Amino acid sequence: MKIVLAEKVSPATLAVFKAEPDWQILTHDQIYDLPAALSDADGLVVRSAVQVDDALMAAAPKLRVIGRAGVGVDNIDAEAATRRGIVVMNTPGANAVAVAELTLGLMIGLARMVPKANASMHAGKWEKKSLQGSELRNKKLGILGLGRIGLEVARRARSFGMELIGHDPFVSAAVARENAIRLVSLDELFKESDYLTLHVGLTPQTAGIINEKTIASMKKGVRIINCARGELIVEEALAAALKTGYVAGAGLDVFHQEPPKNSPFFGLDNVILTPHIAGSTAEAQEAVGVQIALQVREYLKLGVVQNAVNLPSLSHEEYLEIAPYIHMAGRLGTFLAQFSQGSIEGIQLSYSGRIAEAKTDLVRNSAIAGILGHSENVNRINAAAVAQERGIRIHEEKKEAASGGAGSVLKLTLHTSSSDVTASATVLHGNSARLLSLDGIDIEAPLQGTLLTIHNRDVPGVIGRVGTILGDHRINIANFALGRSDRSHRIPQGNALAVVQIDGSVTPSVLEALKNVEAILQVHLVNLDDAK
């Protein structure tokens, strides 16, 4: 077995591979021609500098696994790796403790005014009376996002005697209970928190989630921590609230622009700013290297796949046949996730037609990844494991297609703590993902681009009002699909559904205008441009 370590790794990482007596290890300082070094390699480990493209993989006919010591895989062509049967692995969660510790550190820094105290001491001052702080004990910590990092924050905050509340529709009530977290709605999270910490990924739903309106719904004196993504916060709105004192303090490790230039937070003494260092600890970097070494070793020795970011190996013919349904399932999952209410407890998948005869593990995982994708880094390989970790039950069934129906159909149901929601889809013309139904209403619409789903009373004039509103806002309608309810448990008889595919983006004012139409009951915006 030959392993090529194309970039510098720690001694502990190297030791994992050297413990295998019959393995040949080639380190970065021994490589003069990377393609030549890979000509007989079984495994490749990189960080972020080496670009692993299709041409490089072509020089490595024996390569079975590429290990990325880190989370991002932008430097690896995962699709090319899939076509060549190469597993691509990364190391999500290896820096969770580091990020959680900085989160708590920023909270303590705000509570005890540590930066201000430090600055005054360095200036030769003794300002003890003006530096009276507060304790974390008995304060309510709101955690937005209960993935690996959010749960690590919760475990540490408990030791400070904090009361924990959290919001994450992608975590089960059982996991929350095990970590002494009370699950609440997003509105309740904002309203009740003394400290609010953000641990969600960046999606159309989470971008700008901390804004003027949501800040106004929070307690006066709330303190906000962000070690996730800068784009979660509307910076000008938070800065304004910090200046008035409505928000007592903020600890920010991430920003819209990095490094920041002319940041509205510069000069505010109730803000702690750090240069995106949450995951930058010696231990975290060591953990990333050791973790990828262990994953690569386990795969090459035992065939165990962990934290893969691409599809498992298929024959070329199998991949070509199943790939459109894998993409469709991810889009259907992303679409359906917009309609779930409450914590997800189960996911049911039903395959009918030719797809039921195929290897559907990849279709299943793609659907789950679409559903959970707004929560954290979930992919087509680790999706089922992430669901299990979160206490979400997965059930699958296969059956023949109904006569006269679409040849291959995936029916997907989300079981939540408050309701169930079901949708079905198929693939037409070889690669066109199409929605077939939503909660019992038959409707054919494209599963791509930007979609508005509108539930309304089945009365005259609604279509015209929708068209007028979109036209007034200079939004072009690319496709307008309609369906009527007759027996749905969720959408009563006499109601209707429209799925409108539009060109361009939708502003909050457009959604508000649609919601103000008397006959319209619900409006959802779904962006499938990034769905996989």
Q: Are 475 and 503 in contact (CB under 8 A)?
A: yes
Q: Counting every residue, how long is the chain? A: 532
Q: Which of 158, 276, 354, 490 is catalytic?
A: 276
Q: Residue 489 burial by CB count (10 A; 0-12/13-18/19+): exposed, middle or buried?
A: exposed
Statement: residue 524 has pLDDT above 60? yes
The residue written with tokens 């037609």 in the block is 353
CA dist., res. 339 & res. 234, Å (int): 25
| Mean pLDDT, rounded, for 315-324 | 76
- Nearby residues of 403 by Cβ (< 8 Å), 6 or more positions away: none
CA dist., res. 429 & res. 11, Å (int): 53
pLDDT digits (tens, 9 = 90+) for 91-130: 877 889 999 999 999 999 999 999 999 999 999 999 998 8
CA dist., res. 175 & res. 186, Å (int): 18
Of 92, 97, 223, 210, the closest CA to residue 153 belongs to 97
CA dist., res. 370 & res. 65, Å (int): 25
Q: Could you tell me what percent of the chain has a pLDDT over 90?
A: 60
**What is the β-pairing status of strands 520-527 and 450-457?**
antiparallel
What pLDDT shows up at residue 379?
Answer: 74
Q: What is the DSSP letter of 171?
A: S
Domain ranges of the chain: 2-93+285-310, 96-273, 314-438, 440-532
What pLDDT shows up at residue 495?
Answer: 83
Within 72-208, residue ranges assigned H as helices are: 78-83, 96-111, 114-122, 148-158, 173-178, 186-192
Helix axes 462-472, 508-515, angle to 10 degrees: 160
Q: Could you tell me the pLDDT band of residue 403, with boundaries at 50, 70 and 90?
A: very low
Q: How many CB atoms lie within 10 A of CB 353?
A: 19
Statement: residue 206 has pLDDT above 50? yes
> For residue 245, is it left (φ>0), alpha (ψ between -120 and 50) or beta?
left
Whether the upstream peptide bond of residue 169 has omega within 30° of 0, thus cis, is: no
pLDDT digits (tens, 9 = 90+) for 330-382: 999 999 988 877 788 999 999 998 888 888 888 998 899 899 876 666 777 67
- Nearby residues of 421 by Cβ (< 8 Å), 6 or more positions away: 336, 339, 340, 413, 414, 438, 439, 490
Considering the domain 96-273 in this protein, what is its CATH number? 3.40.50.720
The residue written with tokens 């559903």 in the block is 371
Q: Residue 36 burial by CB count (10 A; 0-12/13-18/19+): exposed, middle or buried?
A: exposed
Which amino acid appears at position 35 of this protein?
P
354 is catalytic: no
| Mean pLDDT, rounded, for 83-89 | 86
What pLDDT shows up at residue 255?
Answer: 94
CA dist., res. 347 & res. 378, Å (int): 15
What pLDDT shows up at residue 386?
Answer: 81
CA dist., res. 405 & res. 257, Å (int): 50
Q: What pTM value is reported for the model?
A: 0.70
Q: Which of 148, 199, 229, 331 is catalytic?
A: 229
The most confident of 173-182, 340-349, 477-486, by mean pLDDT:
173-182
229 is catalytic: yes
CA dist., res. 513 & res. 182, Å (int): 35
pLDDT digits (tens, 9 = 90+) for 414-434: 998 888 899 999 999 878 999
Statement: residue 490 has pLDDT above 60? no
For the chain, give the mean pLDDT: 89
Sheet holding 495-502, edge to edge: 477-484, 495-502, 450-457, 520-527
3-state secondary structure of 111: helix
What pLDDT shows up at residue 134?
Answer: 93
Q: Are 324 and 135 in contact (CB under 8 A)?
A: no
What pLDDT shows up at residue 340?
Answer: 77
What pLDDT shows up at residue 489?
Answer: 45
64 is catalytic: no
CA dist., res. 128 & res. 250, Å (int): 22
- Nearby residues of 31 by Cβ (< 8 Å), 6 or more positions away: 4, 6, 37
Domains 96-273 and 440-532 share a fold: no
Q: How many CB atoms lie within 10 A of CB 10?
A: 16
What pLDDT shows up at residue 429?
Answer: 82
Q: Are 71 and 98 in contact (CB under 8 A)?
A: no
What pLDDT shows up at residue 387?
Answer: 86
CA dist., res. 201 & res. 115, Å (int): 28
Q: Could you tell me the pLDDT band of residue 488, with boundaries at 50, 70 and 90?
A: very low
Sheet holding 181-183, edge to edge: 181-183, 163-167, 140-144, 195-198, 222-226, 247-252, 271-273
CATH 3.30.1330.90 fits 314-438, yes or no: yes
Q: Which of 212, 258, 283, 518 is catalytic?
A: 258
Give the tokens for residue 294.
């262990």
Question: Could you tell me which residue, 457 or 224, shows the higher pLDDT?
Answer: 224
- Nearby residues of 15 by Cβ (< 8 Å), 6 or more positions away: none
Range scoring the smallest mean pLDDT among 31-40, 326-335, 494-503, 521-530:
521-530
Q: Could you tell me what percent of the chain has a pLDDT over 70?
A: 94
Considering the domain 2-93+285-310 in this protein, what is its CATH number? 3.40.50.720
Question: Could you tell me which residue, 374 or 234, shows the higher pLDDT?
Answer: 234
Domain 440-532 architecture: 2-Layer Sandwich (3.30)
| Mean pLDDT, rounded, for 451-469 | 91
